[in-house]
Chains A and B, each alone.
Chain A
Amino acid sequence: MREAVLTWCVPLELLCSHPLPVSAFLKTQVKLYTYRACAGKDEMGKMVSVINTVDTSHEDMIHDAQMDYYGTRLATCSSDRSVKIFDVRNGGQILIADLRGHEGPVWQVAWAHPMYGNILASCSYDRKVIIWREENGTWEKSHEHAGHDSSVNSVCWAPHDYGLILACGSSDGAISLLTYTGEGQWEVKKINNAHTIGCNAVSWAPAVVPGSLIDQPSGQKPNYIKRFASGGCDNLIKLWKEEEDGQWKEEQKLEAHSDWVRDVAWAPSIGLPTSTIASCSQDGRVFIWTCDDASGNTWSPKLLHKFNDVVWHVSWSITANILAVSGGDNKVTLWKESVDGQWVCISDVNKGQGSVSASVTEGQQNEQ
């Protein structure tokens, strides 16, 4: 058991269950905790309520739902093979598009950055990745990528600074990268055997200009180092980096899980040199990986929690201060790190012992 302080905490827990009277759940408080291995805990609680219920009319299981960049549109995909887009402004729900084109359950959808227009990617059991685009008010299939031999499980758009690039992870173990080169053309790079048995998730690192953060002269493209993380059925998380010759190389292997890695999520950058990745697995564990140095070499995992069932999905809020974890135990838990480890010192249990406990080390005081 680690002696080091775990600076993560258990805040909210959303439990889905049979319907209760509306007033009951509206009044339910959602609490935020912070906790530590040794000393006491803390709580902060805020109200949460359902503000809109969108009836997607999907005829089968929904597998993913994503808000666009501004929170004005919602894309959903389902086992009924369709991808639907809704306008959800002002609490409304207007169906904008019902996109057909996949021949199997659609697993994920992902919105591209609005500077490239209204673009949505979807991936499916039918081994295809389809890119949909809105032109003149109507949504159409813009491109189809059929380069995989098995179900494509995950799609993720790169940071907009890199251009329009889509990473796709498939059950055939390969990861393909589609780069838009203009005039409706997409260039494909494939990493074969990225994960044995299959790749379940891909997630891009936020764009950070290496070295100094001084403004580059305009017109000159900064030299971004493109990186992304992938999680697979080989129980590994792999970090990939684009080399100068344009080829992708495996940079790191992160080993800690004892079963298939189901999801990885690279946290948005908040301007600090630390990088953070969350991973979850069939083994019920969620790890938070952090790397302190800018070169990205030493990653250390911290166990967030061990759940009793498979953990399927992890995702970060846009300011990276809350991590959502969807588990097989039919709950979604939201986790929040305190401002710095010390915040947890105040507690009901140890009231009166207001001093900082000695076990909190300097290293833990880094803010995420």
Chain B
Amino acid sequence: MEELDGEPAVTVIPGVNSKKNQMCFDWGPGEMLVCETSFSKKEKSEMVPSCPFIYIIRKDVDVYSQILRKLFNESHGIFLGLQRIDEELTGKSRKSQLVRVSKNYRSVIRACMEEMHQVAIAAKDPASGRQFSSQVSILSAMELIWNLCEILFIEVAPAGHLLLHLLDWVRLHVCEVDSLSADVLGSENPSNHDSFWNLPGNTQTLTELELKWQHWHEECERYLQDSTFATNPHLESLLKIMLGDEAALLEQKELLSNWYHFLVTRLLYSNPTVKPIDLHYYAQSSLDLFLGGESSPEPLDNILLAAFEFDIHQVIKECSIALSNWWFVAHLTDLLDHCKLLQSHNLYFGSNMREFLLLEYASGLFAHPSLWQLGVDYFDYCPKLGRVSLELHIERIPLNTEQKALKVLRICEQRQMTEQVRSICKILAMKAVRNNRLGSALSWSIRAKDAAFATLVSDRFLRDYCERGCFSDLDLIDNLGPAMMLSDRLTFLGKYREFHRMYGEKRFADAASLLLSLMTSGIAPRSFWMTLLTDALPLLEQKQVIFSAEQTYELMQCLEDLTSRRPVRGESDIQQLQDEDIETTKVEMLRLALARNLARAIIREGSLEGS
């Protein structure tokens, strides 16, 4: 049967009385909903006073922190740069690039830390001041861990350099180390450390260094044996320290702020050319010695230990537990993956872990009204599930403004997410129709390639025209272009407007042909034919003959078609009778006009043929 690692942690929702009621839960796109309820479906409630509150819960609250935002924004740029590093690069140049990326990330963390520190100091009330301070210490811990990972995993400092780096590392994070150095430097020992570490020039090999150090170490030992400094206990303890005597070091515990400070100091004096693989022995014992059985290791200690043991996965796992958001593990894992470290551990899911963490981080970003844009890029670099995750998330972004909608659409179009484009355009078209912005609705339905909706909107346009006698959004309709073909009704709308334009430009013959073709081709909806025929009236009444005889016959056909199909009305009220009257009058007028036109057309055509 399944075993659990321990009790899952618990979040308490205040005000929900668990003794009496159950908890109802639902997912929002970004948040979660929780409320008190009773699931057993009885008609009468049990008269238990119920809680009318609904709690909206969010994970990833850090996304909303103003200062952390800078961290997210700037690291996003570094992330992208890292993804684009040429895969062809190998060896030293690649490594130096990766180290540079790591340093960039760290400087961003430090900048954030600085800012938060300023805010903490300036905070008006002590509670928020404390909160900010704790955030600062969390960021500091993050930088500490990252720095160590950089030294061990990315820089892969070899013996010799390793200790230098570790010295820098400790120095950066622990101010007190300086005082200890001063002590040591002030000793009477001729070989001070500065000349020892003449490495920048790299003039000494590791063996030379080891030899030198051995010699110096023996010299110190001799002094101790000879009790040269027996009279001065202070100097003698210093000597012991320089020989790496742990007990002596521990006596100065107050000067050593933590065990890794102790570790590095110890290494400095007992084994400065320590090899990376030997680090963990010293690390574990340093931790044990320093804590002295008085306290147990904290999460940070475990993380650092795991790093010293080169157990990358453990580092990531422990960081995930200890930290409150995915930022750190996602970016660090990604960088380590680029160093080809996750695969080298030969664990099946190395690359998947990177993606797993990036997906979690990016999903969290989508909960934020503007940071979601960063999330898009992260999804782009998740080859397995990035695309589908993006599809699911991007549809849920509220499209409050046209600008935002266009932004979202552009992102979808760039990635050929046609389904999402269609869906979003449909939503916007529907919104526009409800707000009576027909032009906007039409352009959205065209963009969505939604024929049905385009038909609906075109119908509205035509209805509007019938009621008001003019078109709205002429610009749009005039410039439909090939989009006109999307739906028959839309084509009709476009062509009908073209008819009006031609008429306005006095291109009567063209207008007439177009008008006729609209009916004969079947594009025009039957309900509109009367309007079209009425439009033909002025053309029929012109001095010159516009419609040819044949065209006139066709018009007559259309009219008869239309009138014969009209449903027989039963008992009608006065309004309907009046409408009928108007209809009948119109038809009579048309018949007359058509007949007259026919006569004139026949005469004209007959004459022309003759001459």
Contacts and interface: CB of A to CB of B under 8 A. Distances in A.
Interface in B1-36: 1-5, 8-19, 21-36
Contact of B14 (A25, A57, A339, A342): A25
Contact of B398 (A70, A153, A319, A356): A70
Given A70-B397, A70-B398, A342 B347 contact: yes
B153 interface: no
Interface in A31-81: 31, 33, 35-37, 40-67, 69-72, 74, 76, 79
B127 to A, nearest CB: 9
A11 to B, nearest CB: 7
A147 interface: no
Interface stretch (A94-102, A247-255, A345-353): A345-353
B171 interface: no
B5 A326 contact: no
B347 A354 contact: yes
B24 A313 contact: yes
Interface string B412-440: 00000010000100110010001000000
B60 interface: yes
B52 A326 contact: no
A29 B61 CA distance: 12
A121 to B, nearest CB: 15
Residue from A151, A330, A349, A367 whose CB has the most chain B CB atoms within 10 Å: A330
A340 B349 contact: yes
B60 A160 contact: no
A236 B585 CA distance: 68
A328 interface: yes
B430 A114 contact: yes
A31 B22 CA distance: 22
Contact of B53 (A28, A55, A88, A331): A55
B553 interface: no
> Chain B, interface size: which category?
35 or more
Contacts of B48: 61
A31 B56 contact: no
B298 interface: no
Contacts of B58: 48-49, 51
A48 B22 contact: no
B12 A69 contact: no
B404 to A, nearest CB: 11
B18 A330 contact: yes
Contacts of B57: 48-51
Nearest to A200: B41
Nearest to B356: A339
Contacts of A270: 385, 388-389, 392
Nearest to B38: A61
B321 A43 contact: yes
A107 B10 CA distance: 28
B18 A15 contact: yes
Given A33-B8, A69-B29, A339 B345 contact: no
A62 B35 contact: yes
Contact of A346 (B15, B18, B314): B314
Nearest to A72: B398
A266 interface: no
Interface stretch (A16-24, A189-197, A283-291, A293-301): A16-24
B314 A14 contact: no
Interface in A307-351: 310, 312-313, 315-319, 324, 326-328, 330-333, 338-340, 342-343, 345-349, 351
B23 A326 contact: yes
Contacts of B32: 324
Contacts of A268: 392
11 contacts: A20-B12, A29-B321, A49-B61, A51-B56, A54-B56, A113-B427, A268-B392, A316-B27, A317-B27, A340-B352, A356-B348
Which 5 pairs, one residue from A and one from B, show the smallest C-beta to C-beta distance? A67-B28, A16-B16, A41-B5, A19-B14, A70-B398
Interface of A: 1, 6, 10-20, 22, 24-25, 28-31, 33, 35-37, 40-67, 69-72, 74, 76, 79, 88, 104-105, 107, 113-117, 125, 135-136, 151, 153, 160, 215, 218-219, 262, 268-271, 305, 310, 312-313, 315-319, 324, 326-328, 330-333, 338-340, 342-343, 345-349, 351, 354, 356, 365, 367
